[in-house]
Amino acid sequence: MTQVGKILVLVIMAFSLIFLGISTMVFMTSKNWRDATRKQEEEVKKVKGQLSTEQAKLAEAKKNLEDATAASATATKALNSRIQTLEDQNKRDLAQITEVRKNLEVANQSAKSALEEVDARRKETTLLRDQKSAVEKQANEYQLRQAELNDKIRELERMLDVATRNNTDLRERVAKYTTALTKAGLSTDVKTMSGIQSPPQVTGEITKTDPRNKMFEVSIGSDDGLVPGHELLLYRTKPRAEYLGRVQVVRVDPDQAVVRVMGSTVQGKKIKEGDIVSSSIIAR
C-alpha cells in the first residue's frame, strides 16, 4: 500500500470516528430530549390535573359563596319580614289598647244609660201591669163574645149542611131534567130555553119532506132567530088556506132548519113542499 493510500485510510478512519462521535452525540441528544419531553408532558398533565382540581374547588367555592349569599339574603328578608310583622303587631296592639279605652268609656256611658233605662223600665213595667189588667178584662169579654160567635157558627154550619143537601138534591134534579131534555132533542142551554119562551116573528116554507111525512126542512134558520125547541104553526095557502098543525124545531143551521110534526097533522093530511111555517098565521 502506498503512502497516499495509508493516508487516505487514516483520513477515512478519522472521518469515520468523527461521524461515529457525531452520530453518538446526536443519538444521545435525541434520547435526552425525548426523556425530557416525556417528563415535561407528565409535568404538564400533573399541572393540568392540579389546575382542574383547583378550578373545581374554585367553582365549588363560588357556588358555596352564592348559596351563602342567597341564604343570607333569605335570612335578611325573613328578619325584615319578622321586624315588619312585629311592628304591625305593635301598631295593632296600640290600636286595640286605644279601642279598649274607647270601649271602656262607652261601657261606662252605657252603664249610666242602663241605670237610667232600668228606672224607665221599672216605670214601664208598672204601666204594663195596669195595661195587662185591662187586657185580661177585655179578653174575658172577648171569650164571652167568642162563645156567642161559636154558637152562631154552629148554627150557620147546620144551615150550610142543609143548604148543601138541598144543593145536591137540586143538582140531581137538574141532571135528570137535562137527561130528559137531551132525550127529547131539546137544548139544555139557558139562553136557548129563554129563546124558546119567546120565538121570533118568522115565516118560511117547507123545502124538503121525508117519506114518513114527519121530519121536514124549512127555509129559515138560526140567522132568523130560530133555536131547537121553538114551536111554529104549519099551514098552506094554496089552493085554499087551511091549518095543518104545529111543528117543533129540532136542528138549526144559519139558513135552514129541520122541524118535526108535533103529534099529527089535521085529518092526517100530508105535508108538501111549499107549505108555510110561521110563528103566527099571516094571510098571503
Mean pLDDT lowest among 58-62, 212-216, 224-228, 269-273: 58-62
Would you state the pLDDT for residue 233?
93
Report pLDDT for 216.
94
Residue 208 has pLDDT above 80, yes or no: yes
- Please report, for the chain, the start and end positions of each structural domain, with discontinuous segments joined by +: 200-278
Q: Which CATH class is domain 200-278?
A: mainly beta
The more confidently predicted of residues 142 and 204 is 204
Report helix, strand or coil for 275.
coil
Q: What is the pLDDT of residue 197?
A: 55
pLDDT at 4 (0 to 100): 66
pLDDT tens digits along 153-176: 887 888 787 777 777 776 776 666
Has residue 109 got a pLDDT over 80?
Answer: yes
At 264 the pLDDT is 87
Does residue 202 register a pLDDT over 90? Answer: yes
Mean pLDDT within 93-107 = 86
Per-chain mean pLDDT for the chain: 81
pLDDT band at 245; cut points 50, 70, 90: very high
Q: Which residue has the higher pLDDT, 217 or 26?
A: 217
pLDDT at 132: 82
Q: With 80 as the cut, is the pLDDT of residue 192 above it?
A: no
